[in-house]
């Protein structure tokens, strides 16, 4: 099994590793800083480099529990090769900012409007989130944008906790986000806590403080049917 470094330290940009297998899709390493697609967050891209060669990592996916670094056909280094694995940091960091922004947005809409999230999707620097809401207007979008930026621009440290399953199941904030649906063998449960704002079971990568997110714009609000309203956000380039 691969030792996954990103869940404990999202700021690691590269590591050295040994190729332990080459599958149809790509390369499995003994350790990695790459995040495999999951929980709404896209997989990392980047590069593997070794003595005498290099390959671009086009995506990272989880296959049969293994983290697979997807490379072009024929580009994989053979098992046993020592490689330098480096993520495309600019893209990853933008995903971290986007992911943290979405958690704050979900907390805001829940707290202020009592609406749960029904779905979502994120790309680097842009995302959509669907809410169990009856109505959504341009004015509502503006109001949310203002409140969201007020929350994000004040410092709120983001920390990753590994909570014993029993403790997680008893946490009222985690109950709201349906922690009980997490498969029973998962223990401890990884929790992302945005101090004073949001706490949810989550596998993704986040920035260390909300101030690192920067300014967020609500660019579109739309109805996807009764009781299902969609909001699209975009992040400003860092100042
Ligand atoms: Zn998340």
Render pLDDT for 183-236 as a digit per residue (tens, 0 to 9). Answer: 889 999 999 999 999 999 999 999 999 999 999 999 999 999 888 999 999 999
What per-residue confidence (pLDDT) applies to 239? 58
Task: List the one residue out of 28, 38, 23 whose CA is nearest residue 67.
Answer: 28
User: How much distance in Å is there from the Cα of 31 to the middle of ligand 1?
Assistant: 23
Mean per-residue pLDDT for 35-51? 96
Binned at pLDDT 50, 70 and 90, residue 127 comes out as very high
**What burial letters (b/e) apply to 115-133, b meaning 16+ CB within 10 Å?**
bebeebebebbebbbbbeb
Q: What is the pLDDT of residue 108?
A: 96
Q: How far is the CA of 11 from the centre of ligand 1 (A)?
A: 17
Cα 50 to middle of ligand 1, angstroms? 33
52 has a pLDDT exceeding 80: yes
Residue 89: name the closest of 151, 162, 14 by CA.
14
CA 129 to centroid of ligand 1, rounded, Å: 11
**Total residue length of the chain:** 239
Alpha-carbon gap, residue 77 to 83, rounded angstroms: 9
Region 111-140: mean pLDDT is 93
Ligand 1 centre to CA of 134 (Å) is 24
- Å from CA of 94 to ligand 1 middle: 14
**Encoding tokens for residue 88?**
């495309």
Phi, psi (degrees; rounded to nearest 5) at 166 = -60, -45
- Does residue 180 have a pLDDT over 90? no
* Å from CA of 159 to ligand 1 middle: 13
| 163 Cα to the center of ligand 1, angstroms | 16
Ligand 1 midpoint to CA 40 (Å): 7
Pairing of strands 66-70, 189-194: unpaired
Give the pLDDT confidence of 27-37 residue by residue, as tens digits. Answer: 999 999 999 99
Tokens of 56: 């671009």
Q: Find the 14 Cα to ligand 1 centroid distance in Å.
A: 23
């Amino acid at each position: 099994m691969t030792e996954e470094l990103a869940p404990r330290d999202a700021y690691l940009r590269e590591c050295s590793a040994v190729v332990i297998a080459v599958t149809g899709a790509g390369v499995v390493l003994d350790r990695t800083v790459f995040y495999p697609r999951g929980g709404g967050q896209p997989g990392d891209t980047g590069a593997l480099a070794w003595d005498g060669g290099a390959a671009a990592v086009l995506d990272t996916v989880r296959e049969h529990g293994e983290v697979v670094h997807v490379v072009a056909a024929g580009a994989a280094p053979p098992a046993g090769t020592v490689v330098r694995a480096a993520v495309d940091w600019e893209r990853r960091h933008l995903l971290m900012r986007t992911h943290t922004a979405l958690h704050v947005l979900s907390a805001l809409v829940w707290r202020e409007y009592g609406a749960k999230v029904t779905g979502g999707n994120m790309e680097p620097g842009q995302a959509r989130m669907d809410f169990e809401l009856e109505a959504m207007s341009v004015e509502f979008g503006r109001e949310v944008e203002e409140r969201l930026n007020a929350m994000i621009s004040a410092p709120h440290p983001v920390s990753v906790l590994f909570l014993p399953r029993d403790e997680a199941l008893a946490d009222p904030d985690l109950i709201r986000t349906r922690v009980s649906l997490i498969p029973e063998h998962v223990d401890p449960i990884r929790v992302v806590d945005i101090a004073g704002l949001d706490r949810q079971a989550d596998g993704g990568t986040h920035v260390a403080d909300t101030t690192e997110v920067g300014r967020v714009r609500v660019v579109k609000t739309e109805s996807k049917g009764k009781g299902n309203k969609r909001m699209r956000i975009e992040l400003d380039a860092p100042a």
